[in-house]
Amino acid sequence: MMSYKTLVGLEIHVELMTERKMFCNCKNEFGAMPNTNVCPVCLGLPGALPVMDKEAVEYAIMAGLAFNCEIEKTIIMDRKSYFYPDLTKGYQISQSDFPLCKGGFLEIDLDEGPKKIRLERIHIEEDTGKQIHTENGTTLLDFNRSGVPLIEIVTKPDINSSEEARLFLEKLKNTIKYLGVSDVKMEEGSLRCDVNINVIDEERNIRTNISEIKNLNSFKSVVKAIEYEQKRHIEALENGSNTDKETRRFNELTGETILMRKKFQASDYRYQFEADLTPIEIKEEWINEIRTAMPELPDQKKRRFMKDYKLNEYDASILTQSKELSFFYEELTDLVNDAKLAANWVMTDVLRRLKEEDKELSQLNLTPKALAELLDYVKSGKVNNNTAKKVLREMLETGESAKNIIDKQGLIQINDEEELSRVIDEVIKDNQQSVEDFKNGKDRALGYLMGQIMKKTKGKANPNTANKMLIDKINKN
């Protein structure tokens, strides 16, 4: 039995949500009319000089601090030379030997416990323009994206499976969303991912050459590409051959990767110091200012939820798995003033709905305030749990308020003992056999009788009160 170990490293590009582009005053916005947010600097016209945007550096430092990196003392930019139609300068302003952030890590939760995925670096660079390939075979160029600030996050090859890669990317995306430095939307290209992968045959100590899979645009594609490559690399080892050091592209339709080109050496890019930008010193006070202004991160929030709301670790991690969900939960808890009740409803009914419809929370027809109104009915015993679940479904479908639905359909729970007593007497009278069965120890008969009570009250009987009264009456009978 051979034993193989898969090594995966990720390179993740994240577009920063700054007001302006990285080196000019043009607006940084997605979806504007092509070539409207451009100027001589970001078009790369001769003689135009770049000026570093402060906000872009602050956002990048924030990411570095969130991922436990060491921040470099001086910002030094380099030119990375290569030809691309959407890169009119013939070089990209990036960082080579002195990345802004070094080292660092991000922890993922595995079944066997937390695992640290170490980072190699985070550097800053500008984005290129965008090529749009039309149906008639021509290519259009849009330079709105040219000069948009990016961070490139490079991990060490600490990821050993497609599942670990997915967990890592989710945690990374979530953390950046909490930070608010990017909207990290893969479908709009503000988060892009490359995969580096190879496989080691641990017994014979042979390793395959690294393949790089470029421009994966969904987490699903990352998972599929890793699984496909893993198989391809293991097959090579089993045939006694090896893979080539190359760059490949993932085809979403076939689920396969195909060769793009043999891999570049770093030296092919002829990195050289970008003399148009003077090095900027990063003072310790500036880093401290940024650190102080940083919002709460997922792990901190999780610990606070456990402390403030007495949640267990599992519930706290689920409720902080996205920024949106954690804010929703907190607002709901403040309104209902019952952390446990709020957690139960968010974790079961709300999350189930999101999963069923494959939606984000913001796409759901529900505000914390609207749900709080419903939970107040539950808390005060005016509506029982099952009825409330039905009301929520209707709220989500129609957008109507809990109060409207409950009033219109007369769903207020029957707590009145006289009314319940009347119904229970009837049920006992009509179901003598079940009453006998229960007396003879058949517990299931009680469930049947309760069912009859619910049927007669259209589900509105207070289940606890009715249950108690039913047993009392049978015992006295």
**Binding-site ranges for Zn ion (CB under 5 A):** 24, 26, 39, 41-42
Q: Mention every residue, 6+ apart, whose C-beta is less than 8 A from residue 258.
A: 248, 249, 251
At its nearest, how many Å lie between Zn ion and the CB of residue 33? 15
Identity of the residue, 39 or 335, whose beta carbon is nearer to Zn ion in the bound complex: 39
Determine the Cα–Cα distance for residues 13 and 324; give it in Å rounded to an integer. Answer: 23
At its nearest, how many Å lie between Zn ion and the CB of residue 105? 35
At its nearest, how many Å lie between Zn ion and the CB of residue 313? 47
Identity of the residue, 39 or 236, whose beta carbon is nearer to Zn ion in the bound complex: 39
Q: Is the dihedral of CA 37, 41, 42, 45 positive or negative?
A: positive
Q: Mention every residue, 6+ apart, whose C-beta is less than 8 A from residue 154.
A: 9, 10, 11, 12, 119, 120, 121, 122, 123
Determine the Cα–Cα distance for residues 206 and 104; give it in Å rounded to an integer. Answer: 29
Determine the Cα–Cα distance for residues 144 and 320; give it in Å rounded to an integer. Answer: 35
Identity of the residue, 49 or 471, whose beta carbon is nearer to Zn ion in the bound complex: 49
Q: The tokens of 201 are what?
A: 């045959």
At its nearest, how many Å lie between Zn ion and the CB of residue 145? 11
Give strand pairing partners of 27: 20
Identity of the residue, 129 or 298, whose beta carbon is nearer to Zn ion in the bound complex: 129
Identity of the residue, 38 or 223, whose beta carbon is nearer to Zn ion in the bound complex: 38
At its nearest, how many Å lie between Zn ion and the CB of residue 307? 47
At its nearest, how many Å lie between Zn ion and the CB of residue 48? 9
Task: Please list the helix, strand and coil fractions of the chain in percent, rounded to the nearest 5, in that order.
Answer: 45, 20, 35
Identity of the residue, 146 or 434, whose beta carbon is nearer to Zn ion in the bound complex: 146
Identity of the residue, 43 or 287, whose beta carbon is nearer to Zn ion in the bound complex: 43
37: DSSP letter: S
At its nearest, how many Å lie between Zn ion and the CB of residue 312? 51
Identity of the amino acid at 192: R
Determine the Cα–Cα distance for residues 358 and 340; give it in Å rounded to an integer. Answer: 25
The CA angle 317-319-325, to the nearest 5 degrees, is: 140
Q: The tokens of 332 are what?
A: 């709901």
Phi, psi (5° rounding) for residue 123? -120, 165
Give strand pairing partners of 113: 110
At its nearest, how many Å lie between Zn ion and the CB of residue 155? 32
Determine the Cα–Cα distance for residues 295 and 175; give it in Å rounded to an integer. Answer: 10
Identity of the residue, 23 or 345, whose beta carbon is nearer to Zn ion in the bound complex: 23
Phi, psi (5° rounding) for residue 130? -125, 135
Identity of the residue, 38 or 474, whose beta carbon is nearer to Zn ion in the bound complex: 38
At its nearest, how many Å lie between Zn ion and the CB of residue 272? 23
